[in-house]
Amino acid sequence: MKASLDKKPARPLTATDLCDRCPAAAVVETVMLQGGSLLWCAHHFAFFQDALNAFGATILVDERCR
Ligand SMILES: [Zn+2]
């Protein structure tokens, strides 16, 4: 059971939120257990999803289905 995160209101991602791995617009934001968030485009999120799960990252925003 994961400890719940502090309830920060999830903000919608905008066109100025870019993937941390490439210049594409971010559609997913993840938060690491240690703190600090990362932004992902759909491609890079899919690529790193298993690693993020292994690190216990939590999905804060997921706008892939919009
Ligand atoms: Zn990317």
13 compared with 9, residue with greater pLDDT: 13
Q: Does any domain span residue 10? A: no
Q: In what order do the strands lie in the sheet with 37-40?
A: 37-40, 28-31, 58-62
Please give the distance, rounded to the nearest whole angstrom, from the Cα atom of residue 31 to the centre of ligand 1: 16
Q: Is residue 3 part of a domain?
A: no
Count of domains for the chain? 1
- Residue 21 domain-assigned? no
pLDDT digits (tens, 9 = 90+) for 25-49: 999 999 998 889 999 999 999 999 9
Please name the residue ranges forming H helices in the chain: 42-54
Domain annotation covers residue 8: no
Distance 18 CA to ligand 1 centre (A): 8
Which is higher by pLDDT, 65 or 36?
A: 36
**How many A from CA of 27 to the centre of ligand 1?**
9
Q: Domain containing 43: what range?
A: 28-62
Please tell me the distance between residue 7's alpha carbon and the centre of ligand 1 in angstroms. 27
pTM score, whole prediction: 0.79
Residues 6 or more apart whose CB falls under 8 angstroms from that of 22 comprise 41, 43, 44
The amino acid sitting at 65 is: C
The pLDDT of residue 1 is above 60: no
C-alpha 26 to ligand 1 mean position (Å)? 7
